[in-house]
Chain A
Amino acid sequence: MTAQETGLDGEFRQQVVDTMTTVLTRLLDRPEPVTEDMRLMEELGLSSTLGLELLLQVEDQLMILIDVEVMDADQMKTVGDMATFVAGHSRPD
């Protein structure tokens, strides 16, 4: 489903994707860049603790507050899934 179909601001979602992939590459100390289609747990081995650190850094860099309390982490399979959630459930800080 595209950002347009979900009613999301596509430009903002892309900003979230860019920030998340950059932060993840650094957090996970990966030699190869992280991409949007990568699976968070199976491929990147992201723990729930690192997942929270990722969200915190995204909040800091984009100056937003994410509605974590309604985030069903089990439904976030890929980097793109999480970016879509963040783009749709955040507000300016």
Chain B
Amino acid sequence: MTALEAVSVYLPPARIPVESLAGPLGLTEMQVKLFRRFHGLREVSRDPDASLYDLLMKAATGLDALRGAEHRVRYVLYARAMPVVGPYPVNPLHEVCGALGLGHALAFTVTHQSCASGLLAIDIAGRLLAACAADGQDGQDGQDGQDGPLALVLSGEKAFTREAQLFADTTIFGEGASACLVSAFGARDRMLAYAANVRGEFDSATGANDARLQREYRPSLAEVMRQALDEAGVTLDDIRVVLPHNVNLVTWQRMCLLLKFPRDRVLLDNIPVSGHVFCVDMFANYKSACERGLLRPGDRYLAAAVGAGGGATFAAMVFEH
């Protein structure tokens, strides 16, 4: 069963107040007030001096479990919201793989589900590793997770254009990166279920369905969360904590009302201080939940994400800690 072996997150220590972004982003005073008062976004993490390579390396080198296990890494998946992040032939993913001693691994990008691409990458990594084991390619018994093959799931982005910095009237993006080692048969943080609904009709390029997306956003996310819970054979009451995407506070406050789920069991603390960090939110919130002792062995938790842009993807993943 797909499992998270280790997670590392890097969020730049520098924080930019939302008010300071008003000029560069062309926000009105009212929009700034909205972000602060209702969306709960006070500041976002940014590191203007760090390149994308720097961000990814800072996350990956924080992954102690990777040291000495490089030879076990078969796949490196880079989950990101933006389809293009550098001019050809610059390829930060391959540069990172080289620097980490992972040149032997098959490296590729998972995208086109915007900020939901991170959950998709975990699912793909687990399935690829399981297929390795089924084909007897792992060189080990493949079942105990001790020496079996691994995948490294990277995420992280630079907020390098206005489009990458702002989702109008909804969220402001911060910078950061995460690195997560995935195994096919690990014993900790096992993935019980994954559900995703891809809704191509919500393509922001035309804007034709923006109002409908606003109306259907929360019901659609609730629906995919229920799908994942059903597939996992658990109910929402069994979920110790929800790890949200950090889109904004009011969306999750209203999600809690819709789901009749206690707000104090959704980890919202990072929204005011980091902003929405693309695909990194789930991993950052996982780290926060562990650091704050919110997860005990055996606890079930649910990660949820919505990727909006070129279509919308609603995704949820249930784990057992």
Give the interface of A toward B (CB within 8 A): 41, 45, 47-49, 52-53, 55-57, 59, 68-74
Interface contact B38-A47, CB-CB below 8 Å: no
Give the interface of B toward A (CB within 8 A): 30, 33-34, 37-38, 169-170, 211, 214-215, 249-250, 253-254, 257-258, 263
Distance of A46 from chain B, by nearest CB (Å): 10
Q: Given B34, B258, B263, which contacts A52 in the complex, CB threshold below 8 Å?
A: B34
Q: Determine the chain A residues whose CB is within 8 A of the CB of B215 once the complex forms.
A: 41, 48
Q: Determine the chain A residues whose CB is within 8 A of the CB of B211 once the complex forms.
A: 45, 47
Interface contact B253-A47, CB-CB below 8 Å: no
Q: Determine the chain A residues whose CB is within 8 A of the CB of B250 once the complex forms.
A: 52, 68-69
Q: Given B34, B253, B257, which contacts A56 in the complex, CB threshold below 8 Å?
A: B34
Q: Given A48, A55, A57, which contacts B214 in the complex, CB threshold below 8 Å?
A: A48
Q: How many A-B residue pairs have CB under 8 A?
A: 37
Interface contact B263-A69, CB-CB below 8 Å: yes
Q: Given B34, B214, B253, which contacts A53 in the complex, CB threshold below 8 Å?
A: B34
Q: Determine the chain A residues whose CB is within 8 A of the CB of B263 once the complex forms.
A: 69
Interface contact A68-B258, CB-CB below 8 Å: no
Can you list 6 contacts pairing A with B, beta carbon distance less than 8 Å?
A47-B211, A48-B214, A49-B214, A53-B34, A68-B253, A71-B257
Q: Determine the chain B residues whose CB is within 8 A of the CB of A59 once the complex forms.
A: 37
Distance of B42 from chain A, by nearest CB (Å): 16
